[in-house]
Chains A and B, each alone.
Chain A
Amino acid sequence: MPKRHSPRGRHRYWLTLAIALGLTVSGCGQQYVVLHPKGPVATSELNLLILASVAMALVIIPVWMLFAYTLVRFRDNPRHEGVFVPKWQSSRLLEILLFVVPLIIVAVIAVPTVQKTYALDRLPPKKDPVVINVTSLDWKWLFQYPGQHIATVNYIEIPAGKPVLFELTADSPMNTFWIPQLGGMEYTMPGEVLPLWLEANKPGVYMGRSGQFSGTGFVHMVFSVKAVSSAAFNSWVQQVKTTAPGMSLATYHSIVKIGTMGHESFSSYPAGIFPTTTHGFTLTGSSPMKMP
């Protein structure tokens, strides 16, 4: 039998379309960077966000409805239509439910939270990461590639499809290192080196910024992350090595000086400007963080 749209069904069709459109315009546009992950870390963080949001919606929407119903039904009107039980104040069954149901919902969120928290702390096995040493300065980002012996300011290139291990420190007040489309943030703190691994699935340019206020120029602590193919990455490294100037200790000190900067590349950097000792937070698991 041919299926025909009843007027009601058509309503539903338009409604679905309107919701989809509304979501595209308001909630799911590309500018919602957190909702458009481009790498495995950000994807797993988003999945957890969705799970937790659904679980929370299952709690608050029924409570809202119960609340609204209560207000309508038991409002004080002259006819006093609602049931009036001024002394009712306990019910054993309800009270058990009130504790047990939320406990179950919390468990539904807590178990994957703990699993993911541990999982994200491990580099994926059998993949050799590119290591980038990150130093936040007032108000710019200095990146050193210990494997390639090059350095950049305010931009990085990374190979897509390969994990990147960021080792984060600061020679300034604290900042957080954040590339929303690749994954969540981590602090840069003076005297500490914190590890963070991220990966880009596909080539592309992603925005990075600081999430921790560190003075008047902190707004300008944006950097771009260009994910490219492995071959393109290697040729970029070669290009920096051959064309960019070297960084002397004096150059480093001039970079550290307070102020903002554009993009810079350096074919070398002096030894010892990245801390070699740390308080001991390291990545656990298959590929322990190695200090240079």
Chain B
Amino acid sequence: MSHIIAELFPPSTLRLFELIADVLIVLTTVSIVGVLTYTKKWVWLWREWLTSVDHKRIGIMYLIAALVMLFRGGVDALLLRTQLAFPNNHFLGPEHYDEIFTTHGTIMIFFMAMPFLFALFNVAVPLMIGARDVAFPRLNAVSFWLFAFGALLLNISFVIGGSPNAGWTAYPPLTELRFNPSVGENYYFLSLLIAGIGTTITGINFMVTILRMRAPGMTLMKMPMFVWTVLVTGALIIFAFPPLTVSLALTLFDRLFGSSFFTLGHGGMPMMFVNLFWLFGHPEVYIVVLPAFGIFSEVVPVFSDKKLYGYPIMVASVLAITVLSYGVWVHHFFTMGAGPGVNAFFGVSTMLIAIPTGVKIFNWVLTMWGGRIRFTVAMLWQLAFIPAFLIAGATGVLLATVPVDYQMHNSYFLIAHFHFALIGGTVFGVLSGMYYWWPKMFGYMLNERQGKVAFWLFFIGFLVTFVPQYMLGLEGMTRRMYTYPPGLGWSSLNLVSTIGAFTQGAGFLVIVYNVLWSMRYGERDLTGDPWNGRTLEWSIPSPAPEYNFAIVPVVHDRDAWWDMKQSGKSEAFKVKSSAIRPVHMPKRSAMPFLLGLSFFVVGFGMTFSWWVIAIIGGLGVLASLLYGAFDYDDFEELDPEVIRRTEAGLGRLQA
């Protein structure tokens, strides 16, 4: 018994921060359970949320999870920056620092950026294409619960068993059992494998949804730009995740079963892991940034009151980026001696990606040209993206210049570059999308003034954090250093960077305040179209009713809703009572939640090599799948009377 406790709670989980976190986790859990019990909401939670297959609810659950993970990853970042604020600082020890930068990276990429985007996929895509749900609603819930339990598995690591500590890229042989005997890396591999299944399913689901479920008249070239980017992101996911799965699974085999795929001795080839990882890793960059491009392509026309400039070119650029993104992965390791021919090829292919990306930026600016620009919060995030992403792109080209990369590889210049790309691209994008689609999700607006305060804090903090890091790179500071001596010229720049990081943290807190304040006092959106929108999601009430569209719209133009408003047909969009037909709706199901839970048990058991627990979990997986496969009672007809009542209540029913 005592050795089990020692394994569950090694010294690394008994440090001050971990104990504070323990207390907070226990308090939060107790209060949530207490509130749910007191208000008798358990059944409601189970029926309306945990077993829901409604894409809008799943989207909201993704959003909540992503915001919680943004908080966790952000706290990690602040701890790292506090440690680096001064030379020879003793705020965090080396073990602690290594664990925190590992979870910061892993969480931000896999458990913040991706679910945040999936939240917006779920909320917006079916509504934008005039569909009533995604193609496979139950699989959609499976995706979410695999992600959620994968995230949970990674997040318990720092209080039970110990965090992973080899960086988010987890290069062997450092992750080999010999150099890394704690269970932390097992958590990393298993949580990403579990969440990765969910991600792959999401990719398939949205591709099929977009290809098969568009409203009549919406040809591919009449789809909103965001839908295009989701479509190609689906393709990217389907082809990028298998190499990740293979590399993670093989390393896990090395650790758990004594194989030697990537080990230091016995003929292992660590560099093969690096190849496989980045064969996933570079397309991954576009998986998280292309949908952000899509969001910007929706936000700019709406708040410029103008058609998107160069739609066919935008589509071509997205497709070009998709194809090129598979031909650039070696630029993550020009310094691994692949030879001048290989390096030159991948350097040039990387520079080529800058062309379609640059074209897109021009197109957004030209969309604003000749429009009437409204500086709403959603638009401000987009406007901040353009200058920031230009810097990210330009420094990306510098890094693609092979001999320059020899000097910049793994330096803070690189850190600054990818934070400019991922915060300036993805985070600004999802926040823009969040403010834009919030009324559609919840039926009320987020307060604009508070949102602007949050924006300026975050944007200025972002620049103050990462501009000095470019300079630190030129001063020879490399990534993942837990401390540095004085006298190298690094001290003041690091302090400035830390101040910037805390400013961003303040910006995040204002966003949280903004959400909580607006929940209570925010302006209700009674029109369903608060921004004078252009696409179909704004043609229906906010929040969208369960069945989305009482009558599936017919699309004639690219900006379908704007077109209807222009041609005076928006009034005719009011529903004729006689035209309402029964709607085929998916039924809620407990299977996805139970499947996720079973995978969690498998992951937890395998992490500690406690095979009995792993096998019990495996049986749970099998049982859930069988139950799902033989449950034929998965759809129901929604009574037209219910739809009539709902639409009449919203004042949308024609006599």
Q: Are A74 and B372 in contact (CB under 8 A)?
A: yes
Given the complex, which residues of B lie within 8 Å of A14, measured CB to CB?
Answer: none
Given the complex, which residues of B lie within 8 Å of A109, measured CB to CB?
Answer: 351, 397, 401
Given A80-B372, A84-B372, A26-B309 contact (CB < 8 Å):
no
Chain A residue, CB-CB nearest to B343: A117
Select the residue from B336, B407, B483 with max chain A CB neighbours within 10 A.
Answer: B407
* 8 Å CB interface, A168-214 against B: 172-174, 176, 178, 180, 183-187, 189-192, 194-195, 207, 209-214
Given A99-B355, A219-B483, A173-B98 contact (CB < 8 Å):
no
A106 to B396, CA, bound (A): 12
Interface-located stretch among A32-40, A156-164, A231-239, A244-252: A32-40
Interface-located stretch among A45-53, A123-131, A146-154, A262-270: A45-53
Q: Are A186 and B390 in contact (CB under 8 A)?
A: no
Asked if B484 is at the interface (CB within 8 A of a chain A CB), the reply is yes
Q: Are B390 and A63 in contact (CB under 8 A)?
A: yes
Interface string of B456-492 (1 = CB under 8 A from A): 0000000000000001011110111111100011100
Given A106-B352, A184-B409, A76-B401 contact (CB < 8 Å):
no
Asked if B406 is at the interface (CB within 8 A of a chain A CB), the reply is yes
Given the complex, which residues of B lie within 8 Å of A56, measured CB to CB?
Answer: 394-395, 397-398
Interface string of B160-190 (1 = CB under 8 A from A): 0000001100011110100100000000000
Minimum distance in angstroms from A274 CB to a CB of chain B: 16
Minimum distance in angstroms from A81 CB to a CB of chain B: 10
A48 to B457, CA, bound (A): 36
A34 to B472, CA, bound (A): 10
- Contact with A49, one of B354, B373, B401, B489 (Cβ below 8 angstroms): B401
Asked if A259 is at the interface (CB within 8 A of a chain B CB), the reply is no
Given the complex, which residues of B lie within 8 Å of A52, measured CB to CB?
Answer: 397-398, 401, 404
Q: Are A173 and B404 in contact (CB under 8 A)?
A: no
Q: Are B171 and A59 in contact (CB under 8 A)?
A: no
Q: Are A184 and B335 in contact (CB under 8 A)?
A: yes
Minimum distance in angstroms from B171 CB to a CB of chain A: 6
Interface-located stretch among B264-272, B282-290, B440-448: B264-272
Asked if A29 is at the interface (CB within 8 A of a chain B CB), the reply is yes
Minimum distance in angstroms from A68 CB to a CB of chain B: 9
Q: Are B179 and A173 in contact (CB under 8 A)?
A: yes
- Contact with B354, one of A106, A214, A216 (Cβ below 8 angstroms): A106
Q: Are A85 and B370 in contact (CB under 8 A)?
A: yes
A94 to B179, CA, bound (A): 57
Given A89-B310, A94-B366, A215-B179 contact (CB < 8 Å):
yes
Q: Are A174 and B373 in contact (CB under 8 A)?
A: no
Given A74-B371, A184-B403, A60-B173 contact (CB < 8 Å):
no
* 8 Å CB interface, A76-117 against B: 76, 80, 82-90, 94-95, 98-99, 102-103, 106, 109-110, 113-114, 116-117
Q: Are B307 and A86 in contact (CB under 8 A)?
A: yes
Given the complex, which residues of A lie within 8 Å of B176, measured CB to CB?
Answer: 173
Asked if B369 is at the interface (CB within 8 A of a chain A CB), the reply is yes
Given the complex, which residues of A lie within 8 Å of B408, measured CB to CB?
Answer: 34, 184
Given the complex, which residues of A lie within 8 Å of B409, measured CB to CB?
Answer: 176, 184-185, 211
* 8 Å CB interface, B363-418 against A: 363, 365-366, 368-375, 383, 386-387, 390-391, 393-395, 397-398, 400-411
Given the complex, which residues of B lie within 8 Å of A219, measured CB to CB?
Answer: 94, 481-484
Q: Are B368 and A71 in contact (CB under 8 A)?
A: yes
Given A85-B370, A185-B407, A117-B310 contact (CB < 8 Å):
no
Asked if B339 is at the interface (CB within 8 A of a chain A CB), the reply is yes
Given the complex, which residues of B lie within 8 Å of A117, measured CB to CB?
Answer: 340, 343-344, 347, 402-403
Given A88-B306, A116-B402, A70-B407 contact (CB < 8 Å):
no
- Contact with B410, one of A87, A138, A176, A284 (Cβ below 8 angstroms): A176
Given the complex, which residues of B lie within 8 Å of A292, measured CB to CB?
Answer: none
Given the complex, which residues of A lie within 8 Å of B521, measured CB to CB?
Answer: none
Given the complex, which residues of B lie within 8 Å of A172, measured CB to CB?
Answer: 173, 179, 264
Interface string of B332-346 (1 = CB under 8 A from A): 010111111001100
A167 to B404, CA, bound (A): 21
Given A99-B355, A209-B478, A212-B410, A83-B370 contact (CB < 8 Å):
yes
Asked if A22 is at the interface (CB within 8 A of a chain B CB), the reply is no
Q: Are A42 and B390 in contact (CB under 8 A)?
A: no
Given A64-B390, A102-B358, A110-B348, A116-B403 contact (CB < 8 Å):
yes
A83 to B372, CA, bound (A): 9
Considering only CB atoms and an 8 Å cut-off, how many residues of chain A contact the other chain? 87
- Contact with A74, one of B174, B370, B394 (Cβ below 8 angstroms): B370
- Contact with B339, one of A31, A49, A121, A176 (Cβ below 8 angstroms): A121
Q: Are B337 and A186 in contact (CB under 8 A)?
A: yes
A281 to B310, CA, bound (A): 46
Minimum distance in angstroms from B262 CB to a CB of chain A: 10
Asked if B20 is at the interface (CB within 8 A of a chain A CB), the reply is no
A27 to B467, CA, bound (A): 12
Minimum distance in angstroms from B88 CB to a CB of chain A: 11
Chain B residue, CB-CB nearest to A63: B390
Chain A residue, CB-CB nearest to B353: A106
Given the complex, which residues of B lie within 8 Å of A113, measured CB to CB?
Answer: 344, 347-348, 351, 400-403
Given the complex, which residues of A lie within 8 Å of B402, measured CB to CB?
Answer: 113, 116-117
- Contact with B478, one of A103, A186, A211 (Cβ below 8 angstroms): A211
A273 to B488, CA, bound (A): 35
* 8 Å CB interface, B578-636 against A: none
A82 to B373, CA, bound (A): 10
Minimum distance in angstroms from B158 CB to a CB of chain A: 17
A178 to B362, CA, bound (A): 38
Given the complex, which residues of A lie within 8 Å of B403, measured CB to CB?
Answer: 44-45, 48, 113, 116-117, 120, 184
- Contact with A194, one of B265, B336, B482 (Cβ below 8 angstroms): B336
Minimum distance in angstroms from B563 CB to a CB of chain A: 11
Given the complex, which residues of A lie within 8 Å of B309, measured CB to CB?
Answer: 88-90
Given the complex, which residues of B lie within 8 Å of A173, measured CB to CB?
Answer: 171-174, 176, 179, 264
Q: Are A63 and B354 in contact (CB under 8 A)?
A: no
Given the complex, which residues of B lie within 8 Å of A99, measured CB to CB?
Answer: 355, 359
Asked if B311 is at the interface (CB within 8 A of a chain A CB), the reply is yes
Interface string of B307-343 (1 = CB under 8 A from A): 1111111000000000000000000010111111001
Q: Are A31 and B488 in contact (CB under 8 A)?
A: yes
Q: Are B362 and A34 in contact (CB under 8 A)?
A: no
A-B contact pairs, 29 of them (CB 8 A): A29-B489, A31-B490, A34-B476, A44-B403, A48-B404, A56-B398, A67-B387, A70-B365, A75-B372, A75-B373, A82-B370, A82-B372, A102-B354, A109-B351, A113-B402, A113-B403, A114-B347, A116-B403, A117-B340, A138-B179, A172-B264, A176-B410, A178-B478, A184-B403, A185-B335, A189-B336, A192-B337, A212-B171, A219-B483
List 12 additional contacts besides A44-B403, A184-B406; criterion CB under 8 Å: A33-B474, A33-B475, A60-B394, A76-B374, A76-B375, A82-B372, A88-B306, A88-B369, A173-B172, A176-B410, A209-B476, A219-B482
**Nearest 9 interchain pairs by C-beta:** A184-B406, A31-B489, A194-B337, A173-B174, A56-B394, A213-B480, A211-B410, A216-B94, A85-B370
| A-to-B contact residues, CB < 8 Å | 26-27, 29, 31-35, 42, 44-46, 48-49, 52-53, 56-57, 59-60, 63-64, 66-67, 70-71, 74-76, 80, 82-90, 94-95, 98-99, 102-103, 106, 109-110, 113-114, 116-118, 120-121, 138, 172-174, 176, 178, 180, 183-187, 189-192, 194-195, 207, 209-219, 281, 284
